[in-house]
Amino acid sequence: MKQFISFVRKEFYHIFRDARTTMILLLMPVILIILFGYAITTEIKRVPIAIFDQSRDELTLKMTDRLKASEYFELYTIVDSYKDAQALFRQGKVHVIVVFPPQYASTPDAQVQVLADATDPNEATQLIAYCSAIIAEQLRGELAVESKAVTPVTTLLYNPQMKGAYNFVPGVMGLILILICAMMTSIGIVKEKEMGTMEVLLVSPLKPIYIILAKAIPYLLLSMVNIATILLLSYFLLDVPIKGSLLLLVSVSVLYAIVSLCLGLLISTVADTQQAAMLISGIALMLPIMLLSGMMFPIENMPDILQWFSHIVPAKWYIIAVKDVMIKGLPAVSILKEVGILSLMAVVLVFLSVKRFKIRL
């Protein structure tokens, strides 16, 4: 035990002596949260819009006002011809153009045309939906008496304001934990191999399992500091609530951190240089998390093969569990499946990497 403690102490020296890396590790969650919270956002806000109003009656003017007043759109200009409208599109000045037909108010089955720039299909879909909703609402107000159409009442559960933060905060947690635990652990172990100190340790009476544990513990603690940073920032800065049990949230995070540590350990048995370790963690871990964890792109829309592949990305299960606990406020029972899968992954990875680590002796 004394051996072990002197060894853990050494790992902390390594981390804190390398001030630059430590700063990066501590600041990274802050930067990611601010970036995702304020800069990189998929929310629609003040999108430039142009209106081609061929009728200019009371109704279309009201609709124009409504569009102008909405926080989603900003009126770029009123155009007088299709040609002008298309020119604006080509120059990229506007993303949406609303066309009102002549004599709109007096024509019973007249229709409003909404043109959207679909180079970004997701944005275009959202813009059209918002635009139609605003127009439909105005129309309903005007024709309230005559309208017999069924109007659906929608309620957005868990995230009524449709804030992006509710989605990316769990994503960033998944990303940071992998980054610290897997990447830094693998680099730390491979560094000892590269420097030749690993041999000296293996010749010593220190058990290999202690060497591994001593490497993992400091990064586990560091990653918990990061989780705390993320939760504090998202709670106070981005107003993301923590609806469920904090203890449960932290427990799931520790479990996921352990899975990440095992991944890092596995990588360290494969990689021979620090660069290789960094590259493998970058490509084999970061990319799947960004693309296949559901953090940025919905998994449901992916081809079957990618959906299958996404099942083996630990971050996917962690992010689901975090959303369930943090955003929906669900109890432990509801994330049993995710916890089970993550635990299974941890066991398999521990088995694989300890086996591989032994072979190296």
Instruction: Indicate the residue among 211 and 265 with the shorter CB distance to other proteins.
Output: 211
Only segment of 11-19, 82-90, 223-231, 311-319 that touches other proteins (CB under 8 A): 11-19
- The three-state secondary structure class of 310 is helix
- DSSP string over 169-218: HHHHHHHHHIIIIIIIHHHHHHHHHHHTHHHHHHHSSS-HHHHHHHHHHH
Q: Does 204 bind other proteins (CB under 8 A)?
A: yes
Only segment of 5-13, 160-168, 246-254, 335-343 that touches other proteins (CB under 8 A): 5-13
Report d(CA 263, CA 243) in Å as an integer. Answer: 30
Instruction: Tell me how far, at minimum, the Cβ of 17 lies from other proteins, in Å.
Output: 4
Instruction: Indicate the residue among 10 and 140 with the shorter CB distance to other proteins.
Output: 10
Interstrand relation of 113-116 and 73-79 (parallel, antiparallel or unpaired)? unpaired
Instruction: Indicate the residue among 145 and 361 with the shorter CB distance to other proteins.
Output: 361
Instruction: Tell me how far, at minimum, the Cβ of 184 lies from other proteins, in Å.
Output: 15
- Give the footprint of other proteins on residues 332-361 (CB under 8 A): 361
End-to-end, the C-alpha distance of the chain in Å comes to 22
Instruction: Tell me how far, at minimum, the Cβ of 47 lies from other proteins, in Å.
Output: 52
Q: Does 328 bind other proteins (CB under 8 A)?
A: no
Instruction: Indicate the residue among 268 and 293 with the shorter CB distance to other proteins.
Output: 268
Q: Which of 28, 121, 343, 237 is nearest to 129 (CA)?
A: 121
Contacts of residue 237, Cβ cutoff 8 Å, sequence gap at least 6: 33, 37
Strand partners, 47: 73
Contact 240, 329 (CB under 8 A): no
Report d(CA 127, CA 263) in Å as an integer. Answer: 41
Q: Does 202 bind other proteins (CB under 8 A)?
A: yes
Contact 235, 242 (CB under 8 A): yes
DSSP class of 299:
G
How many positions of this chain bind other proteins (CB under 8 A)?
23
Q: Does 273 bind other proteins (CB under 8 A)?
A: no
Instruction: Indicate the residue among 37 and 188 with the shorter CB distance to other proteins.
Output: 188
Instruction: Indicate the residue among 112 and 217 with the shorter CB distance to other proteins.
Output: 217
Only segment of 78-86, 169-177, 190-198, 318-326 that touches other proteins (CB under 8 A): 190-198
| Consecutive H or E run containing 15 | helix 2-17
Of the residues 28, 112, 124, 201, which one makes contact with other proteins according to CB under 8 A: 201
CA distances in angstroms from 20 to 14, 221, 281, listed in the order given: 12, 18, 20
Instruction: Tell me how far, at minimum, the Cβ of 202 lies from other proteins, in Å.
Output: 6
Only segment of 48-56, 129-137, 197-205, 268-276 that touches other proteins (CB under 8 A): 197-205
Only segment of 119-127, 199-207, 291-299, 316-324 that touches other proteins (CB under 8 A): 199-207
Contacts of residue 7, Cβ cutoff 8 Å, sequence gap at least 6: 206, 210, 211, 214
Of the residues 145, 156, 203, 305, which one makes contact with other proteins according to CB under 8 A: 203
Q: Does 272 bind other proteins (CB under 8 A)?
A: no
Binding mask 150-169 for other proteins (x = CB under 8 A): --------------------
Report d(CA 167, CA 163) in Å as an integer. Answer: 8
Binding mask 18-57 for other proteins (x = CB under 8 A): x---------------------------------------
Report d(CA 199, CA 11) in Å as an integer. Answer: 17
Structure tokens at 62: 């009201």
Structure tokens at 19: 């001030």
Residues that bind other proteins (CB under 8 A): 2-3, 5-7, 9-10, 13-14, 17-18, 195-197, 199-206, 361
